[in-house]
């Protein structure tokens, strides 16, 4: 899909609470995809031939639906990076979709559609969060699989003990898919000058977010251990991203 924002009517979501919006979006994915296709069929946004051309592949950082309710996010409820770039005058072709995993991106290869048909200067790539912390089918979130159960009695375990080795294994798996996508892009002569931009992650506060707080509650892990474990996990992910980017001699930043 291209860079026209999705339009989803509030009536589609009547009776749902904002806390459940991730489950709501998953349940109404078909409705949202049809809205995407209708918006794309109307044509791309006006093209500025003197502006920088940015292709985008990713998750909710790059594309969010137009929510029928308001909640606190950076830039406002309906803000995403693609809209921010458009407001700054960049040309964008956006293949991102909220809730997407990097595995599904690598399999679909929609980033090639976003890169094709024009002269792209950059590919913005956002992925990994849904693979590691996203919602699981029928469960609280993937984080629950990476946490050890808190022992009964006074806590004597350091924060790092609560994070299972499976987390580092899956971080490595995410990096493998990053390399797969980046190598695929760089193999095309048409994209020989494209620079890939990725991003790291800040430390989320494990409040009432179903994909973060519920796994900790399930494992009987309370504060301040929750925040400390999240910091360790995010630091490991960011280190892996920096190391992966360093393999490409400045073409991945």
Q: Where are the domains of the chain?
A: 1-127
The fraction of the chain above a pLDDT of 70, given in percent, is: 72
pLDDT at residue number 142: 87
Q: Is the model's pLDDT at 24 over the cut of 90?
A: no
**Residue 227 buriedness (CB in 10 A; 0-12 / 13-18 / 19+):** middle
Where does the pLDDT of residue 38 fall: very low under 50, low under 70, confident under 90, or very high at 90 and above? very low
Q: Who has greater pLDDT, 195 or 24?
A: 195
pLDDT at residue number 250: 96
Q: Who has greater pLDDT, 43 or 124?
A: 124
Rounded Cα distance, 197 and 92, in Å: 14
User: Do the strands 53-57 and 195-197 form a parallel or antiparallel pair, or are they unpaired?
Assistant: unpaired
Rounded Cα distance, 25 and 10, in Å: 12
Rounded mean pLDDT of 189-199?
96
Q: What is the mean pLDDT of the chain?
A: 80
User: Which residues are CB-neighbours of 18 under 8 A, at least 6 positions away?
Assistant: 67, 69, 71
Coil, strand or helix at 252: strand
**Closest of 200, 216, 198 to residue 208, by C-alpha:** 216
Cα pseudo-dihedral 247, 249, 250, 252, rounded to 10 = -30
């Amino acid at each position: 899909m291209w860079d026209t924002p999705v339009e989803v009517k509030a009536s589609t979501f009547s009776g749902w609470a904002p806390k459940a919006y991730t489950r709501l979006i998953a349940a109404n994915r078909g409705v949202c995809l049809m809205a995407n296709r209708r918006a794309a069929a109307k044509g791309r946004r006006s093209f500025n031939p003197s502006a920088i051309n940015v292709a985008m592949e990713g998750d909710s950082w790059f594309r969010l639906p137009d929510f029928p309710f308001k909640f606190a996010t950076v830039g406002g409820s309906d803000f995403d990076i693609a809209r921010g770039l458009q407001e700054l005058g960049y040309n964008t072709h956006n293949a991102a979709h909220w809730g997407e995993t990097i595995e599904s991106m690598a399999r679909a290869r929609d980033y090639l559609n976003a890169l094709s048909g024009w002269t792209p200067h950059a590919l913005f790539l956002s992925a990994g969060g849904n693979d590691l912390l996203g919602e699981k089918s029928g469960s609280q979130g993937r984080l629950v699989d990476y946490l050890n159960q808190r022992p009964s009695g006074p806590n004597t375990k350091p924060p790092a003990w609560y994070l299972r080795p499976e987390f580092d294994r899956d971080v490595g798996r995410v990096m493998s898919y990053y390399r797969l996508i980046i190598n695929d892009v760089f193999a095309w002569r048409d994209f020989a000058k494209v620079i890939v931009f990725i991003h790291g992650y800040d430390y989320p506060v494990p409040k009432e977010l179903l994909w973060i707080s519920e796994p900790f509650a399930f494992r009987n892990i309370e504060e301040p251990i929750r925040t400390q474990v999240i910091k360790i996990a995010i630091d490991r992910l960011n280190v892996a991203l920096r190391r992966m980017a360093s393999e490409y001699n400045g073409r991945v930043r």
